[in-house]
Structure 1
Amino acid sequence: IARTIARGLLLNEDLTEAIAMGHDLGHTPFGHSGEYVLNRLVPGGFEHNEQSLRIVEKLENGVGLNLTFEVRDGIVNHKKSGNPATLEGVCVSLADRIAYVNHDIDDAIRAGLLTNEMLPASCIERIGATHGARINSLIMDVLGVSFGKPYVRMSEEMSAEFDKLRDFLFENLYHNSQAKAEEGKAEGVVETLYNYYLKHLDLLPEDFAKYIDEDGPERCAADYIACMTDRYAVREYERLFVPKDWV
């Protein structure tokens, strides 16, 4: 999505894709649930965009990736309150919002938590009734409003409908009792793993443990957990805390 918007606006597609590839590197397992836990537990806090920057500047290969200022700026400013220095960075931020809202709708419908008919009627009419239609409508709106301008954004009308759709998801999906229950389980897994590795620093892989003296054990434990996928974190939790069958 980001590269398509950049191409349509005659921006630097390679810069856009580099930012897009780097901005989610620091995401914890279980997304914002895991980030919430680490932000609460790690001294100095934890934000996934800052963790992404830490990865590309330091952790990757032990020396970082020697990226340009524009790429690093786009990565660290990839958040709602951020202000990227380039239009390419804005493209990535906007594309990410478009992507996660649409993917969350699809996932919720597949899981039986939502139906298309439950979505706000005005959003279906203005944005579209299917995944492809919504993506296309949002991209075309951004291109129509932003081409040749010193900004990248949606039209006021489309932005209002998009915000209405996002508010609907918060009310009916993100704060859904079933979703909140799963969120609580995810937070428990991350917190338990974090506390365990703090007590067993010798079990941290060398790629992370070598920074203990420089950055502190808490940050290094968070580095390791933040690199885990959901599935890997669950597998580690089960390996460490769930007894195996004896027979």
Structure 2
Amino acid sequence: MWPMTLEGCVVRMADSISYVGRDIEDAIRLGLIRRNDLPADCREVLGDSNGTIVYRLVEDLVANSLDKPFLCFSQKVGESLKQLKNFNQERIYRNPKVKDQTGKVRIMFELLFNRYLNDLEKGNESSDIYREFLDGMSPDYKAKTPPAGIVRDFIAGMTDEYFLEQCRKNLIPQVRTRRFFEQNNRK
């Protein structure tokens, strides 16, 4: 389904622009691919780093959409973006090493979703969903968006690193040694 407004299109394009290069950087960092594995024509048109890819996509989108009632890339950049997305699909998202972790990540999403939903239902304002997300939202958003939608939006906006940090913080018990408690009781 395509967005019905220009604003919706901007959001969708921004999402597409932001994840394509970031996913490549993550895959390189994890050893799933090497920078030279990227299709040569994509490297030539868009670059081979997240920063360069984002810059060239935004630059092209603005240049080709300015003063028009729609958003578009040039044909060359649009084709390179499509090719790069296909590359990501084949080499990153469908990578057997990634697929092995899918079930675990799904469970983490469900647990974190339920944790934040519970925080909203109980009004736990010390939760990150309040401090990191809701405090910056409009009163209209807070009033009209159901709790499950708020949690969905919060999690959808997380980077991979922030998501993992939230899982560590909220889902993994903080085990302390007896020595830790003894030291803190003396204070």
Q: Is the structural similarity TM-score above 0.5?
A: yes
Higher RCO structure, 1 or 2 (CA under 8 Å, sep 6+): 1
**Partner residue, 1:33:** none
2:116 aligned with 1:116, yes or no?
A: no
Q: Give the alignment partner of residue 58 of structure 2, picking from 129, 135, 139.
A: 139
Aligned mates of 2:112, 2:62 — CA distance in 1: 44
Q: Deviations over 1:123-181 (max 9, x none)?
A: 11122233333223212221222122111111233212101101101111111112122
Alignment of 1:192-207 (within 5 A): 204-205=118-119, 207=120
Q: RMSD between aligned alpha carbons?
A: 3.2
Uncovered stretches (5+) of structure 1, i.e. residues with no partner: 1-80, 211-218
- Secondary structure at 1:93 match in 2: helix
In 2 relative to 1, CA 95–236 (structure 1 residues): closer, same or farther, beyond 3 Å?
A: closer
Aligned mates of 1:134, 1:226 — CA distance in 2: 25
2:121 aligned with 1:208, yes or no?
A: yes
Q: What letter is aligned with 1:163?
A: K
**Partner residue, 1:83:** 3
**Partner residue, 2:172:** 238
In 2 relative to 1, CA 107–95 (structure 1 residues): closer, same or farther, beyond 3 Å?
A: same
**Partner residue, 2:77:** 158
Do the aligned residues in 2 keep the contact of 1:208 with 1:223 (CA within 8 Å)?
no
**Partner residue, 1:126:** 45
In 2 relative to 1, CA 145–187 (structure 1 residues): closer, same or farther, beyond 3 Å?
A: same
Aligned mates of 2:66, 2:149 — CA distance in 1: 41
The total of aligned residue pairs comes to: 148
Query: Which one has the bigger helix percentage?
Result: 2
How many percent of aligned residue pairs carry the same amino acid?
29
In 2 relative to 1, CA 97–233 (structure 1 residues): closer, same or farther, beyond 3 Å?
A: same
Uncovered stretches (5+) of structure 2, i.e. residues with no partner: 124-145, 156-162, 179-187
